[in-house]
Structure 1
């Protein structure tokens, strides 16, 4: 075992060339620890001691630094490749870019970037006659900001910080004041601050330990916000703050006692109500109050297990998306303004087995339904008694609602992208059918005609057809020789739709194939797709991914010994599971902030995201769930076998998947792994779940991982396009 002093010395060996040649993976002490379940089950966890909630244990920190030093030493010979990848990725970014402006209450809002700077400038312009979104974009492109009002210059706020993020900003109803929430650690514990937009004055009020969620009442002095539990970090309480009064005197509006629920607060489409929403994996409940006088909140419909709903109010009625009464793929209901129970709801758009209703947006003369069919997104327009669909241009794509702040319009704004088409914002006139392209993400030096996207179907071992989206450079030969990067997520009903991936172009230009496996556990194919990939059916997620790999290799899209798998967070659980179940099928595993210690984490209700995820993974305090989760938990199923090469990443301040999960996983993997393939473990010491802040710094981390991948997959630099 390597003592603490040796670890500290290893942490310093990051630049010496001799160290790069002779570097060996760090080792770390084992310390006996028993993890007990309430039903009597016991497990040995020799690396449990690496957990330190305060992130101060010097022995633990020395180990993480030693792992980083090993990565530095190993990657030294690949630094030129990393640098070139980084230059390529950043070189595609238009640095002085801006978002499409949207209009709200007499102002046009947008964000823009300046050349060489990491963070956005959030700004607005007063709506004057003749000013349009296109006109503002022309002004921004020309660098004309004379009539602009800067709301937040995030570059100035982030100066001198290793991490900084503005989670949200909200302007008061009279357009004079602003509340914003920022995080300077990466742990997603925000501070709400206030600013007068007319004078520039920053108010002394600071509300700490909150989520990035704030809503103004109509009096333009009162805000509602969500306070987090200081230990579990769960959203627990909605409070009311009156600007200029002591924060410690803020009134408690609502407290959620059930730790399986998340919480948020928002305004309805017509700005008539402020609503508190609480949601678990299988249940929802809303409480609303008039925005003009939000003293008493009424329960819109009491919660009931396995009944989910979300309501919005516009033009004198409620519209509700719900799965009540067996509507597995959801339906739309309506209710009068005075409704206070589900008995008063009336069906408007019924549920279908082949269509999943994902959301909706209400307008004065039409309604838009965001839905999924056959694994793809689409937008359905309801106008009077008729309906039509927004057209897509490619066989595999992603389409969804964009910012539509004002409902009194004939124009629908939506986003469109595919694996070959950069993110594009369109406006569609629902009366005339005219479509305008407002903006396409500029990608410097990129020609979409040089790339091809396909939509395939792989057959899983139980006969289920799994959709697969992939992209490659035109001229690719399906001869079974190429290197493949296969990505998936497969949890929480989150769908991984086929959108444009700017960094992946560097892989495609080197002859690689990039594929997204739309495996069970997501919601691409409807609610049943999700339910067949969670709880006691979770293993379908893992076997689907493996079966997609076999399919792509069989069809000639990749060489059997040149397949890389990539996933993060719950997708990191997927990576850990497949590397235990089928290590021989993968040359490389890329795993970011991976959830790999499932049983121990889910046995500890003090850890964020535990209690409110029992309906996703199961509650291991119950033996049947314990046994099933234990049968796939990556950390618990590591064994003496030959594992693929791995690159594992984490953030020291991660509040969603704590750093000690991948740290323990890598330490035990090193003990058991019988292969000579490298395992690299990189800890970002200054960030959390999302990695480094800023638009450029995160690409440095990605370039390092890509350089490692290219080396392991045998992708020669000679195959790169000329600069």
Structure 2
């Protein structure tokens, strides 16, 4: 074939013999000014934003990046395939979940060998009864580039099921309803909803949260009566404050339907009887820095709140006193500086509490008599959390336990007798926990704060300062990263890689104060914590200084971008997945999904103090003419959480500015959103690509 020259969007591509030449794309620069109340900034790559995702110049650039990544990674394909095969070998392909009981049925999921998606089924009256397929997801996903069921709910009479389905990956779900007795799917569909559906008590209507078409913010709760036109759906509640998002749910006893309006620093919950979800009563009016969530069982409300308790406490409110509001709240647990209450579930006679202490997640049982019993663990770093408990009229509490060594194990414990029994140990073929070691390390940050780190490595790995290190963190929104065995990580450990989770500020591993010290005008603590953890692990000889890889995604991708600018010399490679890297521009634009109700996470750049602070760390704005480590950047064209053009612009500017010759690869998934392609095996295929690249950069090629 003759060589031909193509010029698209200012991107130079050389096609030769059907293979792309290994020349990095260089997108055109088109002058543009991003204006704001606090000044203007030049953004020569702003043109890469196209909300329709149809601009041929933009699409040509993304294709060029994919072609370039293909060419650069071609030699690593055997290693990539090997990593994928090893991962799949650690997965029990025909696995099934532990069934749970609700309203006379046992519900569960099962995978068939080779299937990317599970079959969701139920059995009437007994675990041994014949299985009734509710969702044959492998069949539903056939010939679809993306498929996900975000939520489903069975009607009170067990006859119908409503679900939220996404076949694009942009989290704009479609409401559907099916008759489980006949298999007939109703003609009723509602587009652009949150993955959240609830039945009315009479089973004739489905409540859902409608999204704004532009911002994708859930802002209206509506009721759809089966067999009627969507245009006639009844509006139940509209959230006017665009800094709030919404959800709906039922209480533990199914007596109430509740609408939850939620921002970073404020909650408001309004509930109505399930039998007639029309007139909703607010449990406590919203106020800044006041958060709560309520559940109901018997004749009382149980409420998790930060009122006079930074790390949250539980309070109760009798039905008879509900009209008196917070004045009638009575403490069930004391406020604590050390114990952070994450979640709770009410049972008849006791409450199961999901809490954090010392960086670990634990379970505690609190009896109505005030006696408290902690569920114990034997490892230094672990995750224990409440599992599915749909029937409150039982003494048995189901929970899961996991660590970086111990596969996820489902237990149930009897709150009356203390008896504990194993329901299931997640099968991990070819894996022996005895071959691995997990540790809890405490790294001292530059301001003296002790940062917890969960570490795992294979026995025999030399901790003499020569091992490669793979360090991960998230550190935003108060989201905590808990340890668990990952089939896709075993191959890395077996090759001598030390894996570490840095529980940096911005999460809530150490309580609400841990989050407060890692957001808004203290966000840089997240970045410096991560860097200081790396330096501690190198100084204590867990790893070689020149063999460190870092990874983060979404807001953790922001972390990666900031770290790349602040301490590029500390990392051999950085993997940034769907990274939030254009902080200032995005937070200035209220039309972009998530922007408005994230002002309390990042700040509102319309205010100068926040504008200046964001600008000082925004990865895109701080790319400089200096050496950077090798970089692997991933995104999805249909991402609704972090728009594809953020990493696209960042990569373009890095290509323009960086002075090193280290590889920079940009993988764009053209058929997926924030979480990548759907399907359990597809995820591991995608992971194997960056893992192979990482190992090659760390000098581990086998």
Is the shorter-chain TM-score for this pair beyond 0.5, marking a shared fold? Answer: yes
CA-CA distance at 1:385 after TM superposition:
3.0
CA-CA distance at 1:474 after TM superposition:
0.5
Whole-angstrom distance in 2 between the partners of 1:523 and 1:570: 15
| Contact 2:578–2:647 under 8 Å retained in 1 | yes
Gaps of 5+ in 1: 137-145, 718-723
Counterpart of 2:326 in structure 1 is: 342
Equivalent residue for 2:167, pick from 181, 184, 200? 184
Equivalent residue for 1:333, pick from 305, 315, 320? 315
Task: State the number of aligned residues.
Answer: 695
Counterpart of 1:371 in structure 2 is: 355
Counterpart of 2:30 in structure 1 is: 31
**Aligned: 1:564 with 2:562:** no
TM score, norm. by length of structure 2 = 0.97
Whole-angstrom distance in 2 between the partners of 1:2 and 1:703: 31
CA-CA distance at 1:13 after TM superposition:
7.1
Equivalent residue for 1:351, pick from 331, 335, 352? 335
**Aligned: 1:538 with 2:523:** yes
Counterpart of 1:142 in structure 2 is: none
CA-CA distance at 1:367 after TM superposition:
1.0
**Aligned: 1:260 with 2:243:** yes
CA-CA distance at 1:395 after TM superposition:
1.0
1:610–1:2 CA distance, 2 compared to 1 (3 A): farther
Counterpart of 2:7 in structure 1 is: 3
Whole-angstrom distance in 1 between the partners of 2:591 and 2:44: 21
Counterpart of 1:361 in structure 2 is: 345
* 1:359-438 equivalences in 2 (<5 Å): 359-383=343-367, 384-438=369-423
CA-CA distance at 1:522 after TM superposition:
0.3
CA-CA distance at 1:373 after TM superposition:
0.9
CA-CA distance at 1:461 after TM superposition:
0.4
Counterpart of 1:506 in structure 2 is: 491
Whole-angstrom distance in 1 between the partners of 2:121 and 2:47: 47
**Aligned: 1:89 with 2:74:** no
CA-CA distance at 1:408 after TM superposition:
0.7
* 1:123-162 equivalences in 2 (<5 Å): 123-128=121-126, 131=127, 147-162=130-145
Equivalent residue for 1:681, pick from 666, 669, 683? 666
SS in 2 for 1:643: coil
CA-CA distance at 1:7 after TM superposition:
4.3
CA-CA distance at 1:8 after TM superposition:
8.3
| Contact 1:640–1:674 under 8 Å retained in 2 | yes
Equivalent residue for 1:493, pick from 478, 484, 507? 478
CA-CA distance at 1:263 after TM superposition:
0.1
* 1:161-200 equivalences in 2 (<5 Å): 161-200=144-183
Whole-angstrom distance in 2 between the partners of 1:309 and 1:117: 40
Equivalent residue for 2:617, pick from 628, 632, 641? 632
| Contact 1:479–1:557 under 8 Å retained in 2 | yes
Whole-angstrom distance in 1 between the partners of 2:67 and 2:6: 15
Task: Tell which deviates more after alignment, 336-345 or 106-115.
Answer: 336-345
CA-CA distance at 1:432 after TM superposition:
2.1
| Contact 2:10–2:28 under 8 Å retained in 1 | no
1:407–1:184 CA distance, 2 compared to 1 (3 A): same
Whole-angstrom distance in 2 between the partners of 1:30 and 1:295: 55
| Contact 1:14–1:69 under 8 Å retained in 2 | no
**Aligned: 1:307 with 2:301:** no
CA-CA distance at 1:165 after TM superposition:
0.6
* 1:233-312 equivalences in 2 (<5 Å): 233-312=216-295
Cα deviation digits, residues 173-201 of structure 1 (max 9, x gap): 11010001100000000001000111111
Whole-angstrom distance in 1 between the partners of 2:609 and 2:107: 52
CA-CA distance at 1:716 after TM superposition:
3.2
CA-CA distance at 1:501 after TM superposition:
1.9
| Contact 1:8–1:62 under 8 Å retained in 2 | no
Counterpart of 2:574 in structure 1 is: 589
TM score, norm. by length of structure 1 = 0.95
Counterpart of 2:651 in structure 1 is: 666
1:376–1:9 CA distance, 2 compared to 1 (3 A): same
Whole-angstrom distance in 1 between the partners of 2:486 and 2:130: 34
CA-CA distance at 1:9 after TM superposition:
5.1
| Contact 1:14–1:70 under 8 Å retained in 2 | no
SS in 2 for 1:66: helix
Counterpart of 2:196 in structure 1 is: 213
Whole-angstrom distance in 1 between the partners of 2:55 and 2:9: 14
CA-CA distance at 1:590 after TM superposition:
0.4
* 1:614-625 equivalences in 2 (<5 Å): 614-625=599-610
| Contact 2:13–2:25 under 8 Å retained in 1 | no
Gaps of 5+ in 2: none
Counterpart of 1:77 in structure 2 is: 75
CA-CA distance at 1:86 after TM superposition:
0.6
